[in-house]
Structure 1
Amino acid sequence: MARLTEDAKGVYVIAVTPFTDDGALDLASIDSMVDFYEGAGVTGLTVLGQLGEAPKLTAEESRTVVERVLKRLDGRLPVVVGVSAPGLAPMSELAEAVMGQGAAGVMVAPPWTVKTDDQAFAFYQSVGEALGDTPFVLQDYPLTTNVTIAPKVIERIVNEVPNCVMLKHEDWPGLSKISALRAASDKGAMRRISILCGNGGLFLPEEMGRGADGAMTGFCYPEMMVGVVEAYAAGNPDRAHAIFDAYLPLARYEQQQGIGLASRKYVLAKRGVIKSATLRKPGAKLSALDIADVERLLARQAIRLKEIGV
């Protein structure tokens, strides 16, 4: 499989990690999930992300998940693997293992100990050195990491750390950050890298309008992200917004703190993508009222999609 480059674009869906009802890895559901994502038209997959419950997996389980996904895809789509860790040694070890299995690149979020601009730069400089020639994604997700990385710091990282090839942009509000980074690359102040956006796709049309290359997030209807990105690529932002608007109520519901991932897994299980909606403990569970909310949103979404011909 070709390695991840700064020219990457499209939709790299953040994959959930399927578990059985008792919390064991569900390898059969990994297969069906991969088939579903591929059938939805995504460009690539990202595994062991924040919402892939990576911190709840053992090191052996992490390797098993990656191996299973790569085996199922058999080189048809690129796979990015989250390797974030408190130290460089476990990060490098997992990165070396997954790249040897055929991953296209890895993703690294900063640890909570990063507090200043200089610390943010120094951290990613050390990551670049530790990973060698492995291409990596800088995950900018301050809502979860509590680490804010200013555009000027990202600019410096990109210019001085050559194997940083992509920004996973999840700052919120963060549209101005995309504009600043694209302005910097347009005037030659920084290397142009791929920018894929997260936050459940909540701002995807606006992000595409600011110069993003696509999405890297796990909304339970990846068809939405694919449709929006393809419409923008075809020069039809109005169609992109129409598609987005139909899915927005469910996407908004899925972005709740606490039950968001439970909602995502519930819908994926309902769609037959995975067998069980279980989150590994400790994890939230939807109440009967939560499920009623989701079902109502799904019903209204189906009506709206029919109205716009999707």
Structure 2
Amino acid sequence: MISAAARDALQGWLAGQKALKGASDNTLDAYARDVAGFLAFMTEHHGQTQGLGALARITTADMRAWMAFTRGQDIGPRSLARKLSAVKSFYRWLSEREGFEPTAVLSIRAPKFQRKLPRPLSPEAASEVIETLEMQSLTPWIAARDQAVVTLLYGCGLRISEALGLTGAVLPIGDTLRIIGKGNKERLVPVIAPARAAVARYAQICPYDMTRTGPLFFGARGGALGPRAVQKVVERTRAQLGLPATATPHAMRHSFATHLLNAGGDLRAIQELLGHASLSTTQAYTGVDTARLMEVYARAHPQGRG
């Protein structure tokens, strides 16, 4: 049982994450679960409800006990690192507010894990996925919908949540789309002709009325289309084409970035198109190696062109 004071502190911190950092609802839900789970463990661990005073006295040994308990729940190193990051952020905020020393919590190191690099599809495989998607449904408007969504992922580099978050207000789609991405950051992405055509074809035969505030992409029963439906149709498509399990909707976004870079695109421009805060994230997305990165840098830098 978490104390009322601790629960209020958690809600205050979450409100700050939303207001100051623009955290998405999904991120806030994950933060709430992670920190609430930590507080619940400390309550059990100490055999009493953890008020703010008790939270200020948490030791390094307490933190190690929590990490050992969490690992025992079949939580992998990556997920544990995420949970620890949320707890540290909460403690940093709480210590500033309550005036205590948070070193015992902040000094704990996250477990090391092997970062999995995304695996983009080849240009040929990406085209085959888009062409074959249309064969996965006998209902013409659903087939057109699935093709339109995945064409936007590959043609514009959208996240699946960004594509499914589009409303009828974008119709008719022009040469660019204004996208609100992670952290409510806005970016403008160009829309290639095949993506415009795919969306227009779907919109023309969709049986549901599209409004400026309603979803652009509908599920079979008329509600907003969810990501799982897109993941399923891509799973069926990759099985049909004999592609690996790494061929996911998100891999289409990776492929967009990699194919642009291989065609001579500028890494900074691709970073803008993807909505990445960090160039290192774009580097990981594109699977670009250091030699390729240095080649791009040398071509762009005034002294590198000498």
Which structure carries more helix by proportion?
A: 2
Would the TM-score normalized by the shorter structure come out above 0.5?
no
TM-score, normalised to structure 2, is 0.23
The structure whose Rg is larger is: 2
